Amino acid sequence: MKKILVTGAFGLVGADLVPALSEKYGKNNVILLAHKTVTKVPFNIEKGDVRKKPQLEKIIKKHNIGQIYHLAGLLSVGGEKNPPLAWDVNMNGLRTILDLAVRYRCRLFWPSSIAVFGPTTPKINTPQRTILEPTTIYGTTKLAGELLCRYYHQKYGLDVRSLRYPGLIGFNAPPGDGTTEYSVHIFYEGLLKNSYVCFLKKDTRLPMMFITDAIKGTIKLMDARSDKISIRTSYNFSAVSFTPQDLVKEIKKLLPGFVCTYKPDHRQKIADSWPKSINDRVAGKDWGWRHEYDISRMTKEMLDKLRLKLKIRVNKV
């Protein structure tokens, strides 16, 4: 079989997607692209830069790549710190991947984000087709990327597929500084310190998803027949919506002494520009998407997995 290339394989999505793909297709059929040297990882790794076409072309030819999951990119907060770099990596990297996917007839997955929405977007039950006026460089690159993906599909027949990821909550990758990543930090701090200082207001409602659902949906989209894919920009993709205080309430059921305080920072402005809930009925209709994890099940799973990862005994928390 042709092999699968995953860029950005060591980020939040890649940390769970790579094992899932390896289990489904075999470890030797999944190739990871890293921008720096990585050791002690039991996968086939190639070092390369997504902006450098000759490097990537050599890797695609060497491994007979048939599918690409292009996850590499700068996120919302990192993008605001360095907008020129965010544009360079997110847009030029995507364009390089698109060109090579056309040339070598690869099926391509590229993640978009709820960051494509903005203050003028309907906040509740945001529809698939709506106003897109992002306020961050990250959201701007995602919107431009959506349109570029559709262009390559219409112009060259490229089988490109995409999801507008909500805030993702996972346990394998370390938490970053993204706008929704309070929802990951809070579990680490809860288990290690039994307290957390949240950088968003307690009533900030945002669309969120447990990583297991996100990976399941991503692979399900890529497995769908091409004639089932009606959206070539990016599908709305949703599971649950909640606030920091909702999550704190669930955590306290399992960590009774847990305390959370709130000190909103610059990320609050970004969060305020995003929807509170997402309508993903088109994804359900087209390829059968349906989430499994609610906030209670997700909370228990996160605490259980992180206890094992952090080697914390249940009777110590």
Catalytic residues: 138
Hunting for tokens 């390089």 — which residue is that?
96
Q: What is the DSSP string of 266-291?
A: THHHHHHTS-S-B--HHHHHHH----
Q: How far apart are CA 134 and CA 10, in angstroms?
A: 26
Bridge partners, residue 164, by sequence:
112, 236
As beta bridge partners, residue 51 has: none
Classify burial at 88, counting beta carbons within 10 Å of its beta carbon; exposed 0-12, middle 13-18, buried 19 or more.
middle
Specify the length of the chain in residues.
317
In eight-state DSSP terms, residue 174 is: P
Q: Which two tokens stand for residue 61?
A: 């030819």
| 206-210/167-169 β-pairing | parallel
Question: Tokens 């990327």 map to which residue?
Answer: 145
